[in-house]
Amino acid sequence: MSNYKIGTKCVQSGWTPKNGEARVLPIFQSTTFKYEDSDQMGRLFDLEESGYFYTRLQNPTNDCVAAKICDLEGGYAAMLLSSGQAANFYAMFNICNAGDHIVSASTIYGGTFNLFGVTLKKLGIECTFVDPDASEEEINAAFRPNTKALFAETIANPALVVLDVEKFANIAHSHGVPLIVDNTFPTPINLRPIEWGADIVIHSTTKYMDGHATSVGGCIVDSGNFDWDKYADKYPGLTTPDESYHGIVYTEKFGKGAFITKATVQLMRDLGSIPSPFNCFLLNIGLETLHLRVKQHCENAAKVAEYLNNNENVAWVNHAGLPDNKYYSLAQKYMKNGTCGVISFGLKGGRDAAKKFMDNLKLAAIVTHVADARTCVLHPASHTHRQLTDEQLVEAGVQPDLIRFSVGIEDVSDIIADIEQALEKTFA
Ligand code: PLP
């Protein structure tokens, strides 16, 4: 659907029914698929023919939804996974072996910070964290001969740092590695990182894409733009024979589809983080209204940020739409129509006031989740990031008093009234 506008793609991309077929994407709730010819099944296993045989590898419902997200991001190929965590892990593990190294922005989601800093380390893959606002020279200094990827979030959770995608893409490419970005918060409605040079885009579809807090999921979209063969020595998994597939060379056989094919037929085969077709069906329903919801989230967030900014009990507000925000000009460059619905702020009275305020909210609920239709709130230092040391908290851009406020799509006057009554009780 490449010529349609993004709103049309949200509604219609992925599933195009033929004459007499279901109008709505069907749920192919089947683990397996039937063949009448044993040789054909053999050819599928050899990757000589494409077709479905086992849902751990591919499923028609899942593939249609992956195709929709791929279309929204302007990618070449995509795959769905059971969570955003799995998506980030697969994206790295697809090109890194023990003894390799990656560079990542330090201001990333706490779970990803742990994944890279602790779990990948156990597998022999080291990560150097860099301040995304550091100069090119400083970030360049983190690279080593065995560095295989540069990673960052386009809008960091919860620090809300706006990434200079072009700067990061230039740095990555000057070292002959792909830029992998997690685009969960802006979504392709507000930012399409491939257009600015990113090579691989990750989503926790759990957030705005699903949008209703019903299904955990992840997605990897490959632009198909990174030339693995040019750096063949660095990426032997893609450019030399895979013994587990009779010596197939992914770049030779699948060209621009090499990265996603390998992640599907090798990593998904061996590690099995597949989402259920039912969850993918729900994700697709969410995607059908993504363009409408993201617009409303952004409009509401801008009004809430302005309200907080003018409140005497609020110490600071972080929202890239506010003209005095550090990231205002980057946000204007990359996300003219808005950033996301998540804002953060601190109260005069610090950590204790933050807890009191949250306990006094009525409409906004304290939940771990972020970025769905309902307004919700979280104190990262006590919740999602509680496993980080104070030093790591600062590195991740999380002040101890930071309240992460995920503005929903309710009527914004009710959201502001809720904040107002909670502030009044907190500071009574
Ligand atoms: N990336 C970002 C930016 C996130 O906010 C999260 C979760 O909050 C993840 C990845 C992990 O995704 P999931 O919870 O779907 O595993």
Residue 80 alpha carbon to ligand 1 centre in Å: 14
Is residue 111 lining ligand 1, measured as CB closer than 6 Å?
A: yes
Atom of ligand 1 nearest to the CA of 184: 3
Residue 54 alpha carbon to ligand 1 centre in Å: 27
Q: What residues does 180 pair with on adjacent strands?
A: 151, 200
**For residues 83 and 322, what is the distance between their CA atoms, to the nearest angstrom?**
32
Is residue 395 lining ligand 1, measured as CB closer than 6 Å?
A: no
Nearest to 80 by CA among 217, 230, 228: 217
Pair of tokens at residue 377: 């709130």
Half-sphere CA count of 182, side-chain side, radius 13 A: 34
**For residues 175 and 150, what is the distance between their CA atoms, to the nearest angstrom?**
9
Is residue 113 lining ligand 1, measured as CB closer than 6 Å?
A: no
Longest Cα separation, the chain: 76
Residue 47 alpha carbon to ligand 1 centre in Å: 32
**For residues 96 and 89, what is the distance between their CA atoms, to the nearest angstrom?**
10
* pLDDT (0 to 100) of residue 129: 97
Best mutation site among 80, 89, 109 for ligand 1 pocket (most ligand atoms within 8 Å of CB):
109
Helix (H) or strand (E) holding 104: strand 101-105
- Residues 6 or more apart in contact with residue 112 via CB below 8 angstroms: 85, 88, 104, 153, 182
CA 70 from centroid of its chain's CA atoms: 13
> How do residues 300-327 score in pLDDT, each as one tens digit?
999 999 999 999 999 999 999 999 999 9
Query: Could you list the mean pLDDT of each consecutive 10-residue stretch along the chain, which spans 428 residues?
Result: 91 97 98 92 85 94 98 98 98 98 95 96 98 97 98 96 98 98 98 98 98 98 98 98 92 97 96 98 98 98 98 97 96 96 95 93 94 94 79 79 96 98 96
**For residues 405 and 287, what is the distance between their CA atoms, to the nearest angstrom?**
22
* pLDDT (0 to 100) of residue 285: 98
**For residues 428 and 426, what is the distance between their CA atoms, to the nearest angstrom?**
6
CA 336 from centroid of its chain's CA atoms: 20
- Count CB neighbours of 230 within 10 A: 10
Is residue 184 lining ligand 1, measured as CB closer than 6 Å?
A: yes
Is residue 216 lining ligand 1, measured as CB closer than 6 Å?
A: yes
**For residues 247 and 130, what is the distance between their CA atoms, to the nearest angstrom?**
38
Is residue 204 lining ligand 1, measured as CB closer than 6 Å?
A: yes
Residue 369 alpha carbon to ligand 1 centre in Å: 9
The pairing of strands 218-222 and 77-81 is antiparallel
**Is residue 17 reached through a cis peptide bond, with omega within 30 degrees of 0 on the bond before it?**
no
Pair of tokens at residue 26: 């069907």
* pLDDT (0 to 100) of residue 2: 72
Residue 351 CB-density burial (10 A; 0-12 exposed, 13-18 middle, 19+ buried): middle
Q: What secondary structure letter does DSSP report for 314?
A: E
Best mutation site among 89, 116, 200, 204 for ligand 1 pocket (most ligand atoms within 8 Å of CB):
204
**For residues 77 and 75, what is the distance between their CA atoms, to the nearest angstrom?**
6
Is residue 206 lining ligand 1, measured as CB closer than 6 Å?
A: yes
Residue 115 alpha carbon to ligand 1 centre in Å: 11
Residue 62 alpha carbon to ligand 1 centre in Å: 19
Report residue 284: phi and psi, to 5°: -65, -40
Burial 51-70 (b: 16+ CB within 10 A, else e): ebeebbbbbbbbbbbbbbbb
Is residue 55 lining ligand 1, measured as CB closer than 6 Å?
A: no
* pLDDT (0 to 100) of residue 45: 84
Q: Whose CA is nearest to atom 12 of ligand 1?
A: 84
Tokens 């980057």, residue?
A: 330
Residue 365 alpha carbon to ligand 1 centre in Å: 19
* pLDDT (0 to 100) of residue 101: 98
Secondary structure percentages of the chain, helix, strand, coil, to 5: 40, 15, 45
Pair of tokens at residue 362: 């009525």
* pLDDT (0 to 100) of residue 1: 64
